[in-house]
């Protein structure tokens, strides 16, 4: 959530939060996670939506099936738009961030509400119940399966593939491949969260989906290039969300 709010600010957007779980984590990994009661999650969403109408919404960690359902019910009631779902399931380092049954709950409740779903390779594999993708073609196939499950558009993130990172967008029967640069830094903690939040910001400003993704990827590369300057932690630190503002 802290990374999301930093990203929103970096893009000139005003972020508001509904906390779904409390976590204990640092650059070395996640050591504990405690879900918030679903009714409290719903109350937080309603407090924002009943007073301020967001131009876009980014969903990250849902934690439990009941929380996923509570989020979906609240967003449906307020006719939320430009929803970007980043299906956080397992961190690169540390304990699981998902309870049993969360994948099925995400498919049934939140996928149909999303303008865009942004799973990484492991999350796409879990959500589609297929082996981990190794190629662009396999990434596209998983994206199509999620479209069939109700998503409007899917960006399968291939940062864990060997070589330069590549992301695959599937939308309306069309496939678009986004190529990027591999930045030489160990500080990549939360890059997926930052990317989906950046896309949500651009959608909030009215950008077409393809342009929103392209702009977000360029910004993230800059944030990763500047990450070493932060000198944070002994493990995988965060990208520098504010690299364009201060060093």
- Shortest CA distance to 158 belongs to which of 136, 185, 175? 136
Assess whether 201 carries a catalytic annotation.
no
> Which residue do the tokens 């082996």 mark?
131
Q: How far apart are CA 134 and CA 11, in angstroms?
A: 33
User: Considering the domain 2-230 in this protein, what is its CATH number?
Assistant: 3.40.1190.20
Assess whether 190 carries a catalytic annotation.
yes
- Shortest CA distance to 232 belongs to which of 18, 11, 3, 1? 3
Instruction: Please list, in sequence order, all residues whose beta carbon lies within 8 angstroms of the beta carbon of residue 67, skipping any fewer than 6 positions away.
Output: 20, 21, 35, 36, 38, 41
Distances (CA, A) of 53 to 57, 176, 233: 10, 31, 37
pLDDT (0 to 100) of residue 91: 54
Find the mean pLDDT for residues 74-89. 95
Q: What residue spans define the domains of the chain?
A: 2-230
pLDDT (0 to 100) of residue 95: 52
Catalytic residue among 64, 158, 193, 201: 193
The total number of residues shown for the chain amounts to: 247
pLDDT (0 to 100) of residue 74: 97
Q: Are 209 and 153 in contact (CB under 8 A)?
A: yes
pLDDT (0 to 100) of residue 47: 97
Catalytic residue among 143, 158, 190, 237: 190
Catalytic residue among 157, 158, 201, 237: 157
The pLDDT tens digits of the residues spanning 11-46 come to: 999 999 999 999 899 999 888 889 999 999 999 999
Catalytic residue among 60, 143, 192, 237: 192
Residue 99 has pLDDT above 90, yes or no: no
Q: Are 59 and 110 in contact (CB under 8 A)?
A: yes
- Shortest CA distance to 30 belongs to which of 4, 61, 5? 61
Assess whether 7 carries a catalytic annotation.
no
Assess whether 143 carries a catalytic annotation.
no
Assess whether 6 carries a catalytic annotation.
no
Query: pTM surpassing 0.75?
Result: yes
Assess whether 191 carries a catalytic annotation.
yes
pLDDT (0 to 100) of residue 160: 84
Q: How many Å separate Cα 151 from the centre of its chain?
A: 14
> Which residue do the tokens 């996640």 mark?
30
């Amino acid at each position: 959530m802290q990374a999301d709010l930093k990203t929103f600010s970096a893009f000139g957007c005003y972020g508001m939060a509904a906390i779904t779980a409390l976590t204990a984590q640092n650059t070395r990994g996640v050591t504990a996670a405690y879900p918030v009661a679903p009714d409290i999650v719903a109350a937080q969403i309603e407090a924002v939506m009943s007073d301020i109408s967001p131009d876009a919404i980014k969903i990250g960690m849902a934690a439990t099936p009941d929380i996923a359902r509570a989020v979906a019910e609240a967003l449906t009631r307020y006719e939320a738009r430009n929803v970007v779902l980043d299906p956080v399931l397992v961190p690169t380092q540390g304990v699981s961030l998902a309870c049993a049954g969360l994948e099925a709950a995400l498919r049934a409740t939140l996928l149909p509400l999303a303008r865009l779903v942004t799973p990484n390779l492991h999350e796409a594999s879990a959500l589609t119940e297929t082996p981990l993708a190794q190629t662009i073609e396999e990434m596209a196939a998983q994206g199509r399966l999620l479209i069939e499950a109700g998503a409007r558009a899917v960006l399968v993130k291939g940062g864990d593939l060997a070589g330069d990172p590549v992301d695959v967008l599937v939308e309306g029967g069309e496939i678009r491949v986004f190529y990027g640069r591999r930045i030489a830094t160990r500080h990549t903690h939360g890059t997926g969260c930052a990317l989906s939040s950046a896309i949500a910001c651009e959608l909030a400003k009215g950008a077409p989906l393809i342009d929103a993704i392209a702009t977000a990827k360029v910004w993230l590369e800059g944030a990763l290039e500047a990450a070493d300057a932060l000198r944070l932690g002994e493990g995988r630190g965060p990208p520098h969300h504010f690299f364009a503002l201060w060093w």
